[in-house]
Structure 1
């Protein structure tokens, strides 16, 4: 069974901690090699509930021209050129990703990496069960087709795109015979302001494309209770992706809007609690309510002493707890009957106390 089908069948969220290239700065801070830092981040993601970790696989010269300007908040990431930024973080190649994939397998977390060129698509194919396509490539239809033809589930981010552009991308995937698609709401702004998160768009994607999984790739700053990610899940996102770091105070790249292990743990705990509290769909009395059904409900009770031979009138009865006697909804079956025996004031009236009609 593919991961895509498992997410559908088990009706659970699939959480992705996007390490991206944040391990470069973690390596520098902690005095580690790049590989050691990447593995440390895998461990921390695994320990705090992520289902998968995701890297970014690119070479600067294949992803951006030397004239590509920055489009991010330069007070957080001062690099003024995309090419210059990517050059800082493109040291890993096939051998390194093979090592990371093997490490993920040994620690039982799913390895993923977003490819940004055809060569990366090819060598990542044997290393991961899902292709994740960046919002930046949603109009790169030849590239999307090339990935879709590999026959693996495709998770497609939809940041900065129109419905028409999303439809073209989806059709490109489907035309290859691949229908395991997850459409991920995303806002392509770093960081995304809370007022721009527009989580309602998840619901809209579900209405327009009802045949596919929904997801959310988040670029907001982590809030104190991780309510943004949690709300995305409640709005229908079964795949949740967020950048991951070990230090949110580090300048540059994706640290400033990433979650850290504590944030990831909060989100994982939120999901566990939601799973626990949502429960059954159909309304019915629960086993834990059995005693309450008896003790907290009302019964028909004698308001005054009712002597043998008296006719039980409305004025002679009231309704009090516990609910182990005759229910008030049987009132019409009690009124007008003759008492077989004396019933003391404040005593529950029983069927044996009154004559049958």
Structure 2
């Protein structure tokens, strides 16, 4: 699926659509181009529609005394500046190379910009801009990104409704197409705190926009992502790594290619079992329709030419004869021939009065 396809005005849905899946590699390349290229290849192999990196310089993103907000037992770095400084070596040349790598692999390239300079060179590489939850109140930056006239993916982590509505107003004023991604800004997010009901709340408050989900739970059996799709998320984003056992950063709560394949297999079975949002009998139910439903049946012997009476009729299986829905019509008719008790009536057995 192309990323831009999710922004098309959807027709009324008669099935749950397959989501667009973004593998959030972030900075899990840890400054190695070979690892970054491996992440691209494995995300494509796993079936992701896009892979997303992060583009920043620590000096323009965080002050030197900015405290950690992640699980420091998993990622022990106590300062945001120190952590970001470890992984901010990739810049314009590296992301241009990764864009070419993505094109070769057949997967869309994305990277979240965290400053104006990176947004400018990333504009030439992407069809869609992603705005981090951390910038949902950053009015001047949101406006600058909107000025590139591309669709916007906006994560809503740690935001109250009025803050989301305010950011939506800024983007709508610029005329950009928009997808809002429910997100819990907690690393990792406990399953019980995934708050997937907020997907429905976003659909209710912002029906004019696409709704998705950016996940920070541990991958496990991937049921959280599956549930998000059933709640209505049309785009999914989840951290992605080539090795979940690596310490620190975003490896510990990321999925890998095996998780991604498992998710698709689970989701496919679930969507097949849900089917279409239409009420109809299935072809597989035809034997039951023919044999478990009932027909009008004679409750006693009836002589040829006699009008049928209520006490002459009952209803029994199978449904090979006149349906009980035609009960009143049958009572207005007479027997065409002698009918024995327990005859499954057909229209050929009756004449109009």
When normalised by structure 2's length, the TM-score is 0.89
Bigger mean CA offset, 286-295 vs 327-336: 286-295
**1:189 to 1:338, Cα distance in 2 relative to 1, 3 A:** same
Offset, 1:6: 4.0
Q: Which runs of 5+ in 2 are unaligned?
A: none
Would you say the 8 A contact 2:146–2:176 is kept in 1?
A: no
Bigger mean CA offset, 328-337 vs 282-291: 282-291
Match of 2:20 in 1: 14
Question: Quick check: 1:216 aligned with 2:222?
Answer: no
Offset, 1:15: 1.0
Match of 1:186 in 2: 183
Query: What is the 5 A alignment of 1:1-357?
Result: 2-6=4-8, 8=10, 12-24=18-30, 34-175=32-173, 177-224=174-221, 226-308=222-304, 312-335=308-331, 337-357=333-353
Offset, 1:68: 1.2
Offset, 1:291: 4.9
Q: Distance in 1 between matches of 2:27 and 2:138?
A: 22
Match of 1:27 in 2: none
Offset, 1:275: 4.4
Offset, 1:12: 4.3
Offset, 1:241: 0.6
Offset, 1:278: 4.3
Q: Which runs of 5+ in 1 are unaligned?
A: 25-32
Offset, 1:318: 2.9
For residues 85-131 of structure 1, give each alpha carbon's deviation from its aligned partner in whole angstroms, at most 9, with x where no partner exists: 11221121111111111111122111111111111101111111111
Q: Distance in 1 between matches of 2:258 and 2:318?
A: 47
Q: Distance in 1 between matches of 2:311 and 2:267?
A: 54
**1:260 to 1:304, Cα distance in 2 relative to 1, 3 A:** farther
Q: Which has the higher contact order (CA 8 A, sep 6+)?
A: 2
